[in-house]
Amino acid sequence: MLLQQKPLPGYWYTNIVGQLIQVRALMYVGKRVTCVVVEYANGKREFVDMRGWYYLDLALHSPRLERRERVQDL
């Protein structure tokens, strides 16, 4: 477990073998995130608990906020 990225809905991540994974939704119990719904580039969706999420060892692939800021500056 090298990297511990927070799951952000709508963002894309890459795993250690370069596979793209998008966070589709977060599931909560109270105020605590308990499960992450991820979708692979091939369309397959999975539910991953938070312990499993951190074991995926993901790197952020698409910082959407940075892109939005650049577009707004134009």
- Residues 11, 63: Cα–Cα separation, whole Å: 7
pLDDT, one tens digit per residue, over 41-71 is 999 999 999 999 989 889 988 655 555 544 4
Strands 20-29 and 12-14: antiparallel
Q: What is the mean pLDDT of the chain?
A: 84
For residue 2, what pLDDT is reported? Answer: 54
Q: Is the pLDDT of residue 12 over 80?
A: yes
Mean pLDDT of 28-49: 96
How would you class 21 by CB atoms within 10 Å of its CB: exposed for 0-12, middle for 13-18, buried for 19 or more?
buried
The structural domains of the chain, with segments of one domain joined by +, span: 12-73
Average pLDDT over residues 19-31: 95
